[in-house]
Amino acid sequence: MKVILDYDDVLNECNEEAIRKLNKEYGYSYCLEDITNWGILENELDKRIPYFVQPKFVRNIPIREGARKLVCELLKRHCEIFIATSVPSQCAGVRIADIIRNFPEIDPGNILIGSRKDILVADILLDDCYFNIEHSNVRYPVLFRKPWNAQYTGMPAVSDYKEFLKLVDMLLDSKNKLNRFQNPNIFILVGPSASGKSTVQEELLKTEKFIRTKSCTTRAPRKKDDDYYFLSMADFKKMEENEDFLETTFYKGNYYGTSYKEYKRCSETGKKIIFVMDINGALRIKKMFGKKACTIFLKRKPIHCIRSILDRLHTGEITKEDAANRLNFLSAEYENEKFCEISIENNTIEDVVKQIMDI
């Protein structure tokens, strides 16, 4: 398996070092979380940008803790590793020397200098730039979560190296057909916004052979909305710190999570559990339960999804901001089909339900 790792802010502490230098030079007190978007921010943080073209600065950027271990773990899995980095010509030699010094295990011929990551071909790409993920030709592009990409959803994303290695392991298992479902008792519906996932879930619940967990979320309640435990951000983070969640994910600006307590309640009924999740939650559940979990991608023609989103906006079910987010990330969500074990075309709800019941 060929894996491309972005260098700045994935393997090194580029922006952390820039902020440290900025704070020292100007007496500021900025932190990484203050970088809320990619590129120009139109505030004092923009003073750090000239650092990125200075060879001396590029030479002294520290490697992120755990980066070397990540590379070693990927090599143990027989992955061929490439490092992709975009630096100006005056910094190219410094950057190559830095990579060779810090990662001697990687073939120098696998160091890729340039900004055109859209032309790279491999199995997996790990990058913190949403634009690179959105336009990637890599089979499995994965977003490395940072404050400047927190608003982007709809694609696989990881927050740390540990999560990334779990995803790599799952993809390796899938490639070798080692982890494909067998007599599953957990079903996970994935699909683009307004593809009919919740409707299919409701119909499966009517058969009384399925049960759904009640997720925790930080989003605001909607009309007739009792399918969630609504938590403040502080309470959600406290549960996360206490490791009370089976899985968590960040979706369209809000956090969602399934608690161990809720999963246990559902599993003790003896019924099959039906989840509706974004791709990140689905991959975590699949990794955790292996052959007992089945990931299903629910397909629907984009025009029908768009009409449904606009209808929900018109009725006041969702806000303008929510509708805009759903429409913006719709195309990215269709790319998640390749991560799922089964794809079902949503022509009629009855047909979808029958196909799932027959699994």
The conformation of residue 290, written as its DSSP 8-state character, comes to G
Q: Which one-letter amino acid corresponds to residue 180?
A: R
Rounded mean pLDDT of 79-88?
96
Q: Read off the pLDDT band of 180 (50, 70, 90).
A: confident
Q: How big, in percent rounded to 5, are the helix, strand and coil portions of the chain?
A: 45, 20, 35
- Reply yes or no on whether the pLDDT at 313 is more than 60: yes
Q: How many CA atoms lie within 13 A of 119 on its CB side?
A: 5
What is the C-alpha separation between 177 and 172, in angstroms, rounded? 8
- Which range in 9-13, 214-218, 287-291 is most confidently predicted, on average pLDDT? 9-13
| 155 & 296 share domain | no
Q: Read off the pLDDT band of 223 (50, 70, 90).
A: low
Pairing of strands 245-251, 254-259: antiparallel
| 76 & 146 share domain | yes
Concerning whether 226 is annotated as a catalytic residue, the answer is no
Lowest mean pLDDT among 157-161, 175-179, 216-220: 175-179
| 204 & 349 share domain | yes
Concerning whether 8 is annotated as a catalytic residue, the answer is yes
pLDDT on residue 332:
86
| 351 & 205 share domain | yes
Greatest alpha-carbon pair distance for the chain in Å reads 66
Q: Return the closest-CA partner of residue 249 out of 277, 209, 286.
A: 277
Q: CA separation (Å) from 186 to 73, 106, 158, 173?
A: 30, 40, 23, 18
Any idea what the CATH number is for the domain that residue 312 is in?
3.40.50.300
Q: Tokens for 127, please give them.
A: 């990058």
3-state secondary structure of 115: coil
CB 341, CB 189: distance < 8 Å: no
Q: Considering 151, 174, 197, which residue would you say is the last residue of a domain?
A: 174
What is the C-alpha separation between 215 and 110, in angstroms, rounded? 43
Instruction: Output the average pLDDT for the chain.
Output: 93
| 155 & 39 share domain | yes
Q: Return the closest-CA partner of residue 136 out of 71, 84, 73.
A: 84
| 115 & 147 share domain | yes
The conformation of residue 139, written as its DSSP 8-state character, comes to S
pLDDT on residue 271:
97
Looking at the chain, the number of H-run helices and the number of E-run strands are 14, 15
Q: How many domains does the chain have?
A: 2
Q: Return the closest-CA partner of residue 255 out of 268, 270, 238, 272.
A: 238
| 144 & 268 share domain | no
Cα 173 to chain centroid distance, Å, stands at 19
| 246 & 154 share domain | no
Question: For residue 320, what are the domain limits?
Answer: 180-357
Any idea what the CATH number is for the domain that residue 126 is in?
3.40.50.1000
What is the C-alpha separation between 172 and 163, in angstroms, rounded? 14
Helices (DSSP H) in 77-210: which residue ranges?
89-102, 130-134, 161-175, 197-206
Rounded mean pLDDT of 128-154?
93
Catalytic residue among 6, 9, 98, 127: 6
- The CA R_g of the chain, rounded to the nearest whole Å, is 22
Q: Considering 174, 208, 229, which residue would you say is the last residue of a domain?
A: 174
Q: What is the per-residue DSSP string for 26-87?
A: H-----GGG--SSS--SSGGGGGGGGGG-HHHHHTPPBPTTHHHHHHHHHHTTPEEEEEE--
CB 104, CB 119: distance < 8 Å: no
Q: Return the closest-CA partner of residue 231 out of 211, 212, 213, 258.
A: 258
Q: Considering 157, 174, 191, which residue would you say is the last residue of a domain?
A: 174
Q: Tokens for 305, please give them.
A: 């999804």
Q: Tokens for 58, please give them.
A: 């590029």
| 200 & 144 share domain | no
Q: How many CA atoms lie within 13 A of 199 on its CB side?
A: 15
pLDDT on residue 179:
67
Q: Region of 103 please: left (phi>0), alpha (psi -120 to 50) or beta.
A: beta
| 311 & 202 share domain | yes
What is the C-alpha separation between 144 and 150, in angstroms, rounded? 10
pTM of the model: 0.84
| 123 & 36 share domain | yes
Percent of the chain with pLDDT over 90: 80
| 307 & 228 share domain | yes
